[in-house]
């Protein structure tokens, strides 16, 4: 696979570049950053009701977005600051061309230990084998329902067969899989047990993600959030769950394991069980903004300095600026649901 880095650039600082004088990046609250979520595009071939507003336009992959080479260089700087994990997101990241080439570049960066990708699964039949060859460590695939009608209601069209075909392709390529489920009250929350069983039968962890009413979709889904505690009560009918002590506190998904079967489930409880105190993440939007928190409308413009010739030390200073803006914790709860006016699809949530 060809490298996406610009000619003359390496992933880390060489002798001609200033040396970054830090091996880890911490914020004002003594949290150390280890994970970078990178949105490749705000475009998506689905129209999921909890993510994409009905009038969301299809973005072209023009100069307003970071090039994949610019992304690779940015991750190289992040690695020097102690970031160890990268998650590629969107929109749907696989609508962006040459993603396997990007994965290969990211995997070659010293210090980067894991590269994962979050996808709706529809394009995995085309890309799964190349992603595996490029070194991708895992795919997180959105599977909100096993019912065709509910899936169509959530995704905006009939996509269940596409998602299932994508999961088959990931399995055939021997890509590790986690399933992402957003329970929406009255639409698919009754499938909690079936979805957990579906994952368990295939050896895949199922992660239940509380619906976050952000941006313009918030008004279209009132009272849609199903608290994680409620889901755990439902799962107790079939699974004898206990907390997994091996899951690090910085993981946004609180991990649970079934004592009888070994089935694994996780709960990302952004509204009802905040995990901000252990957060080690920062986000890079497709347009090149470093955001310290998904729910915080703050960030640092990285794209313009990149294109103006900033060296690694200058880019590292921008990371530090973003880190210093990070809140101790966000204030989004079921009672105060709208904290960011940005739509989820534009943030790479």
Residues at the binding site for S-adenosyl-L-methionine are: 50, 91, 142, 212
Cα dist. 57→91, 121, 214 in Å?
12, 21, 18
Give the Cα separation of 215 and 50 in Å (integer): 10
The C-alpha atoms of residue 180 and residue 162 are separated, in whole angstroms, by 16
> 116 to each of 36, 46, 87, 225, 314, how far by Cα in Å?
11, 20, 5, 26, 27
Q: Are 20 and 266 in contact (CB under 8 A)?
A: no
Provide the 10 A C-beta neighbour count for residue 12.
16
For residues 120 and 97, give the distance between their C-alpha atoms in angstroms, rounded to a whole number.
Answer: 16
Edge to edge, the sheet with strand 35-39 lists 241-243, 254-258, 264-268, 205-209, 177-181, 138-142, 114-119, 85-89, 35-39, 281-284, 289-291, 300-301
Residues of each annotated binding site for [4Fe-4S] cluster:
44, 48, 51, 276, 279, 293
Half-sphere exposure of 130 (CA within 13 A, CB side): 15
The number of residues making up the chain comes to: 349
For residue 8, count other CB atoms closer than 10 A to its CB. Answer: 7
**Residues within the annotated binding site?**
37, 44, 48, 50-51, 87, 91, 118, 142, 178, 212, 276, 279, 281-283, 293
Annotated binding residues for GTP, as ranges?
Answer: 37, 87, 118, 178, 281-283
For CA atoms 85, 88, 313, 295, give the dihedral sign: negative
């Amino acid at each position: 696979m060809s490298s996406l880095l610009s000619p003359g650039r390496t992933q880390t600082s060489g002798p001609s570049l200033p040396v970054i004088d830090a091996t880890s990046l911490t914020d004002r609250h003594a949290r150390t950053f280890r994970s970078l979520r990178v949105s490749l595009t705000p475009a998506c071939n689905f129209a999921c009701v909890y993510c994409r507003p009905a009038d969301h336009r299809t973005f072209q992959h023009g100069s307003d977005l970071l090039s994949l080479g610019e992304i690779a260089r940015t991750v190289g700087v992040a690695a020097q600051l102690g970031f160890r994990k990268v998650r590629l997101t969107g929109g749907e990241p696989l609508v962006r061309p040459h993603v396997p080439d990007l994965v290969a570049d990211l995997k070659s960066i010293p210090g980067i230990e894991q590269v994962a990708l979050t996808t709706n699964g529809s394009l995995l039949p085309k890309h799964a084998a190349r992603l595996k060859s490029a070194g991708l460590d895992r795919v997180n695939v959105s599977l909100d329902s096993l019912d065709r009608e509910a899936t169509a209601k959530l995704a905006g069209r009939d996509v269940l067969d596409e998602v299932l075909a994508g999961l088959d392709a990931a399995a055939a390529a021997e890509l590790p899989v986690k399933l992402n489920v957003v329970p929406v009250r009255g639409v698919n929350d009754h499938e909690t047990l079936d979805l957990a069983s579906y994952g368990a039968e295939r050896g895949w962890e199922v992660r239940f993600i509380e619906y976050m009413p952000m941006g313009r979709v918030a008004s279209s889904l009132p009272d849609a959030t199903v608290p994680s505690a409620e889901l755990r009560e439902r799962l107790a009918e079939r699974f004898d769950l206990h907390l997994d002590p091996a899951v690090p506190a910085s993981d946004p998904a609180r991990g649970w394991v079934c004592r009888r079967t070994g089935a694994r489930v996780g709960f990302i409880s952004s509204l009802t069980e905040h995990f901000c105190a252990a957060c080690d993440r920062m986000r890079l939007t497709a347009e090149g903004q470093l955001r310290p928190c998904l729910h915080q409308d703050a960030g640092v413009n990285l794209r313009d300095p990149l294109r103006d010739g900033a060296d690694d030390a200058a880019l590292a200073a921008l990371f530090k600026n973003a880190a210093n803006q990070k809140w101790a914790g966000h204030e989004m709860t079921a009672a105060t649901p709208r904290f960011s006016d940005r739509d989820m699809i534009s943030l790479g949530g």
